[in-house]
Amino acid sequence: MVAAAEGSQGKAWATLLTKTSYLQGALVLADSLARHRSKYPLVVFATQELPQVARDILDARGIRIRDIDYLEPPKENRGELDEHDRRFADTWTKLRVFEMTEFERLVLLDSDMLCVRNMDELLEMPLDDGWIAAAHACTCNPRKLAHYPKEWIPENCGHTQARLTTPLAPSDFSKSTHDRLNSGLVVLRPSRSTFDGIVSFLNTDPRVATYKFPDQDLLADFFKDRFLPISYRYNALKTLRYCHAEMWRDEDVKNVHFILKKPWYYTLPESDPDYEVHAWWWKAFDELEASWGDAPHWDEIAATVNREPRRDDLN
């Protein structure tokens, strides 16, 4: 593993891990941050469900684990997710990052991300108390999913009005979708009072039962008027490369977010629009393997990825 330089222990990257199916993602993310010389560590915050073998692997790679409890709304305030979005059911637990008050600043990262350029400035940028910074959610709904909000159309997307790496400013919000954010990357200042407010909101606000994107919708509503937009380059959803081709530049991107199908599920055919970006992840995975050497547990990591072609492309 490429060693990261020493930095402030008051600041860190943080990613949630509850199961081994995202372990390979967290390891590649940690390695990519270090390879691009971040001076800040990655901390994994984990529930008790994370198996011991995963904990042993993280520990051997020098990745700190911070134990947290599972979090979800009470049953009476829990909505029914569409079958397509059941994967979001556990994401409420990401909100526990706000109670990690041993840190003065954290950047929450999803573990299906890949750092491709140094982005330490996120841990050093000015951020007022009680505020968060994040990139806009893409509200284009390119797959035309019927259960998405009706107002999710390209002309209402915050990225549509962005100017390359300059995001839409809050003063220019003119659509109801412009205050929607993507919670894959959130810059925050942990605070007990903020976390208590979030939990109270989670338990009592009737909007929670209507949310289609659980933690993401809550953050957008809870931090309404306290949300600082940052460039897509820090949370470059892989689909933005063609949904917002006028904005995306490969050389601008600092952190890729592999939403929807993960690279480790299978190898895509070259005709797939995500093929090239997925290849970036596989290259990083190969670099991780090369750095592993004779350390134990690589077999467990290799078992979590599938290099076979996507089955529906075999015929």
DSSP string, 29-83: HHHHHHHTT-SS-EEEEE-TTS-HHHHHHHHHTT-EEEE-------GGG-PPPPG
> What's the CA dihedral at 27, 263, 243, 32 to 10 degrees?
20
Q: Where are the domains of the chain?
A: 11-313
Question: Beta partners for 261?
Answer: none
Architecture of the domain defined by 11-313: Alpha-Beta Complex (3.90)
Angle, helices 214-222 vs 192-204, to 10°: value is 110
Q: For the chain, what percent of residues have pLDDT higher than 70? A: 91
Give pTM, 2 decimals. Answer: 0.92
The confidence score (pLDDT) of residue 6 equals 46
Q: What is the mean pLDDT of residues 259-272?
A: 95
| DSSP code for 178 | T
The confidence score (pLDDT) of residue 80 equals 59
Q: What is the per-residue pLDDT across 146-173, written as a single tens digit (0 to 9) for each?
A: 888 999 999 999 999 999 999 999 999 9
Question: Beta partners for 133?
Answer: 187, 228
